[in-house]
Amino acid sequence: MAPKSNSKVKRACEAMQVFGYTEEIVKPVLRNLLNLYNKNWKLIEDENYSALLESLIDSEESKERQKSLLEDEPEENEPPLKKSRFCSQLNHSSLAKHDPSPSADTCTLELQSPSKQKMAGFTTESYETEDVELKPFLLKDYQGKGKKQSFSESSPVSTLPNDMVVFSGDNMEGPCNPSSHLTIKEKGDTSLSYPALVPKRRLRFDCREEPNVVGSSDASNKGALVEYDLSDTMPLKVPFSDNLPDSDVPLAVAPSDGSRTFERQDLEFLNSEHLDTEGNEKGVTSSSQQDIASSQKGEVKIFFVYKPCSSSDFRPPSLDAVLKRMEGKYIKSYRISQPGFSLLRLMENLCECYLTAGTKAKAANEPLAGIESQKQHPVGVRYDAANHELHFAPDISNGSFKLSNLIKVSPQIPKFPASGNRDIVCYMVNFNGTKIYGAEKDKTKKVLKLPAPSTMNNSVVVQKKDSSPGLPGSAYYFEDITNGQEEHRISLINEFSHEILHVFKYIPKNIIFQNAYVKFLLARISDDNCCSHCSEDCLSLDIPCACAGETGGEFAYTSGGLLKEKFLENCISMNREPQKHGLVYCQDCPLERSKNNSMSGVCKGHLVRKFIKECWHKCGCSRGCGNRVVQRGIAVSLQVFMTAHGKGWGLRTLEDLSRGAFVCEYVGEIVTNMELYERNTQTADERHTYPVLLDADWGSEGVLKDEEALCLDATSYGNVARFINHRCYDANLVEIPVEVETPDHHYYHVAFFTTRKVNALEELTWDYGIDFTDHSHPVKAFKCCCGSELCRDIKSLKRARK
Ligand SMILES: C[S@@+](CC[C@H](N)C(=O)[O-])C[C@H]1O[C@@H](n2cnc3c(N)ncnc32)[C@H](O)[C@@H]1O
């Protein structure tokens, strides 16, 4: 067995060598860890020796701290800080003074550091454990690796937070549940309570030299050494004494309006004795607060608060130095390889999250004033048809809609079916959940029909300011139809009718259905087709690189990410006045071929469109290059809404958009025209269809094979663009073909850009380019309700004039 374990040691040392730790440093730490983990190599080898690496880092830090402790050895009779802190927690007068020889009446827990400095209670330091035989200490209701350890009621307790607890021996390692209790007892006395938590530290009880430790009836537990790994815990409500070591600098999150969100007593030196009448810390100068990060508008801040007067040698370090130290540690221990990793950014994000979560939490506790506030407080509803039960989640704004969080409200479901045959499409729960409404849709149907579970999962109801007829003060609302797949959430709202969203699968990128021939081959991208020698941002080059070739040697985008005027103007004109630009006619049109069962029909002509070509993987520029816009995805705030004038769902912007701004790409299944035609004939009664032909370059080639004549169908799989309605002639969006992955123009991206400045809440529209008299067009003919003065649907115009 020995050689096997030797080779394990060797491998561990080699793994640590990468991080600059020599064998001499690694071995003692490894020995400790083996002791601690009861020689369980798996725990040490897991995640590429991360436990070992962390121990090494801790050990280094601990050595440094001990060094400075030794230099600062306290006076003989001076009570050690940690001891008195512990004692004040226990409210145990006999511990108020340090007594090196504990009696039967005194607290029985002792700490032993390598410096042999005795301190009763606990420490937030990490201590060497070399040559110590570790034994399990007692834990009440401790659950480790599925095993439950119970101890007698007589065991005194101390609460631990939801945390990791590392014990040696007897299967005692694993997560500790929030109600786990540490069993520590004063001899002959009652329970002790000291849930002292300090983040990212180890807490260790050393009872080796204490005869009075009562852990269990088993005397062998006397003198045990117990270690808690308190990583990632927050400082909790602990009545700390003011004898806090100066190095314990708590981190606090607070709204910057001055009202602190943490409870002051939670921070040891901010408890009442330390506050003056105005609630400020007594004797704490302004220098005791050091800002770290804040939310964008400064509503929430993270800062260090320290006690400048408590130690003469504590000098607040520069924030840079602290961050550098932390970043170094984190990059090492968590193997963060992202070059741009920034702890500061992480903190800023933390502030933003704090703000968002706080805002939502507040909204959840307030009665609804109107739709605005409700938007931040969507209610999740789920109907269990089998049991005729209704469940709701009071707030799913954080995106979680777990069944376990739902509240069952079945007794309150009204008896809808009693008054006739109704089709309940959605239940609605008002804000406080006391009233529930059923929305009815089709009274002719006999079955109680509910939306498909995938629709119901995050279907929610919001209260409106003005109630609309039929829907008592409510609207149908989805928090995010993308299911988190886009950078920004895209909500959906219906304030006008009972219509709910038909099931479709949201996909952020095109996917091939079956027969379409789409191949992204790096080998097909020639040097003329990419800019492998570029770096950073191609738009900043004096002479545009090869990627501008497609657009006549000039990039299509401005440095501000908008389309250049000339290019945009040309694309708009091509859409509005196709005759001016001339159509090309296929010898053997794939579109006609698909309609006529492989027999060629007469081509109706296709526009030869201008392509944008974006830089891609083979290019040398960065992801932030200005010639990469569409591939970065949706960057504006959008909402799907029920239109008022019979067009069904539509898409609107929630922010002002400049002319030439990219909105979104049309995403769907990549299908051949044959496949599309088959689909359309099979689903003839579908009200809405969502195909877009990829015919921008059909004219430039000879006869296209079926698998090369493609289109995008967003009927079952699609993104938000499937909700963009048609407007004749003066639509505010224009579609432009974009080449990204392949120079082969059979497949390309269809991107929408604004044709003019669009105001927030305006509907976004696009001219489908359909001929309303052509009933064989893939987009099924509809009565146009675009409302444009230039509407091409003559019948619609006539209807409107009547
Ligand atoms: C791509 S979808 C647009 C989203 C669709 N309104 C919905 O509710 O899902 C195209 C369908 O929307 C409807 N539509 C789009 N523009 C319209 C318009 N101007 N007038 C009437 N219906 C329109 C037609 O039924 C068309 O087939």
pLDDT at residue number 780:
65
Task: Using the predicted structure, report yes or no on whether residue 19 has a pLDDT greater than 90.
Answer: no
Q: Is ligand 1 within 6 A of the CB of residue 502?
A: no
Q: Is ligand 1 within 6 A of the CB of residue 44?
A: no
Report CA(457)–ligand 1 centroid distance (Å).
25
Q: Is ligand 1 within 6 A of the CB of residue 725?
A: yes
Q: Which atom of ligand 1 is nearest to the CA of 721?
A: 1
Of the candidates 438, 383, 431, 425, the residue with the CA atom closest to the CA atom of residue 408 = 383
Report CA(709)–ligand 1 centroid distance (Å).
24
* Tokens read off for 489: 């959430």
Phi, psi of 388 (to 5 degrees): 50, 50
Q: Is ligand 1 within 6 A of the CB of residue 181?
A: no
Report CA(782)–ligand 1 centroid distance (Å).
8
Distances (CA, A) of 19 to 22, 564, 659, 683: 9, 50, 52, 62
With H, G, I as helix, E, B as strand and everything else as coil, classify residue 644: coil
Cα(173)–Cα(279) distance, integer angstroms: 43
CB 274 within 8 A of CB 242: yes
Burial class (CB in 10 A: 0-12, 13-18, 19+), 86: buried
Of the candidates 665, 659, 623, the residue with the CA atom closest to the CA atom of residue 538 = 623
Say which residue, 352 or 628, is predicted with more confidence: 628
Across all residues in the chain, what is the average pLDDT?
63
User: Three-state secondary structure along 731-787?
Assistant: CCEEEEEEECCCCCCCCCEEEEEECCCECCCCEEEECCCCCCCCCCCCCCCCCCCCC
Interhelix angle 319-333/41-71, rounded to 10 degrees, is: 150
Distances (CA, A) of 280 to 274, 277, 288, 415: 8, 7, 12, 58
Q: Is the dihedral of CA 297, 299, 300, 303 positive or negative?
A: positive
Report CA(497)–ligand 1 centroid distance (Å).
16
pLDDT at residue number 771:
80
Q: What pTM was estimated for this model as a whole? A: 0.49
Of the candidates 289, 256, 257, the residue with the CA atom closest to the CA atom of residue 270 = 289
Q: Is ligand 1 within 6 A of the CB of residue 766?
A: no
CB half-sphere exposure, 293, CA atoms < 13 A: 20
Report CA(770)–ligand 1 centroid distance (Å).
12
Cα(282)–Cα(272) distance, integer angstroms: 10
Q: Is ligand 1 within 6 A of the CB of residue 796?
A: no
* Tokens read off for 576: 């509005």
Report CA(648)–ligand 1 centroid distance (Å).
6
One DSSP character per residue, 553-615 reads: TS-SB-TTSPBPHHHHHHHHHHHH-HHHH-EE--SS-HHHHHHTTT-------EE-PPPEE--
Report CA(720)–ligand 1 centroid distance (Å).
13
Phi, psi of 332 (to 5 degrees): -70, -55
Report CA(787)–ligand 1 centroid distance (Å).
13
The ipTM value here is 0.99
Burial 752-772 (b: 16+ CB within 10 A, else e): bbbbbebeeeebbbbbbbbeb
Q: Which atom of ligand 1 is nearest to the CA of 723?
A: 4
Q: Is ligand 1 within 6 A of the CB of residue 785?
A: yes
* Tokens read off for 97: 């003074």
With H, G, I as helix, E, B as strand and everything else as coil, classify residue 181: strand
Say which residue, 720 or 73, is predicted with more confidence: 720
pLDDT at residue number 71:
57
Which of the listed residues 499, 782, 790, 794 should we mutate to test ligand 1's pocket, taking the one with most ligand atoms within 8 A of CB?
Answer: 782
**Structure confidence by residue, pLDDT tens digits, 482-523:** 988 999 889 888 777 777 777 789 999 999 999 889 888 888
Q: Is ligand 1 within 6 A of the CB of residue 221?
A: no
Report CA(21)–ligand 1 centroid distance (Å).
65
**Structure confidence by residue, pLDDT tens digits, 597-616:** 656 678 888 888 999 999 99
Cα(181)–Cα(53) distance, integer angstroms: 29
Amino acid in position 546: A
**Structure confidence by residue, pLDDT tens digits, 389-423:** 555 444 433 433 333 334 443 333 333 333 333 33
Cα(477)–Cα(484) distance, integer angstroms: 16
Which of the listed residues 481, 496, 725 should we mutate to test ligand 1's pocket, taking the one with most ligand atoms within 8 A of CB?
Answer: 725
Cα(197)–Cα(191) distance, integer angstroms: 18
Neighbours of 269 (CB within 10 A): 23
Q: Name the residue at shortest CA distance from atom 19 of ligand 1.
A: 786
Query: Of 279-283, 368-372, 724-728, which gets the smallest average pLDDT?
Result: 368-372
With H, G, I as helix, E, B as strand and everything else as coil, classify residue 358: helix
Please, what's the largest Cα pairwise distance for the chain? Answer: 105
Instruction: Return the percentage of the chain with pLDDT > 90, whole number.
Output: 22
CB 345 within 8 A of CB 326: no
What residues contact residue 393 under an 8 Å CB cut-off, 6+ apart? 379, 380, 381, 382, 400, 401, 402, 405, 406, 407
What average pLDDT does the segment 56-75 reach? 65
Q: Is ligand 1 within 6 A of the CB of residue 504?
A: no
pLDDT at residue number 587:
82
Task: Using the predicted structure, report yes or no on whether residue 584 has a pLDDT greater than 90.
Answer: no
Q: Name the residue at shortest CA distance from atom 7 of ligand 1.
A: 649
Q: Is ligand 1 within 6 A of the CB of residue 690?
A: yes
Cα(622)–Cα(614) distance, integer angstroms: 12
pLDDT at residue number 750:
97
Q: Which atom of ligand 1 is nearest to the CA of 779?
A: 27
CB 586 within 8 A of CB 594: no
Report CA(465)–ligand 1 centroid distance (Å).
28
Say which residue, 136 or 556, is predicted with more confidence: 556
| Local confidence band at 720 (pLDDT 50, 70, 90 cut-offs) | very high
Report CA(725)–ligand 1 centroid distance (Å).
5
Cα(388)–Cα(314) distance, integer angstroms: 65
One DSSP character per residue, 31-94 reads: HHHHHHTTT-HHHHHHHHHHHHHHHHHHHHHHHHHHHHHHHT---TTSPPHHHHHHHHHHT-GG
Task: Using the predicted structure, report yes or no on whether residue 692 has a pLDDT greater than 60.
Answer: yes
With H, G, I as helix, E, B as strand and everything else as coil, classify residue 327: helix
Q: Is ligand 1 within 6 A of the CB of residue 698?
A: no
* Tokens read off for 781: 């003919």
CB 571 within 8 A of CB 736: yes
Phi, psi of 180 (to 5 degrees): -60, 145
Which of the listed residues 476, 496, 503, 647 should we mutate to test ligand 1's pocket, taking the one with most ligand atoms within 8 A of CB?
Answer: 647
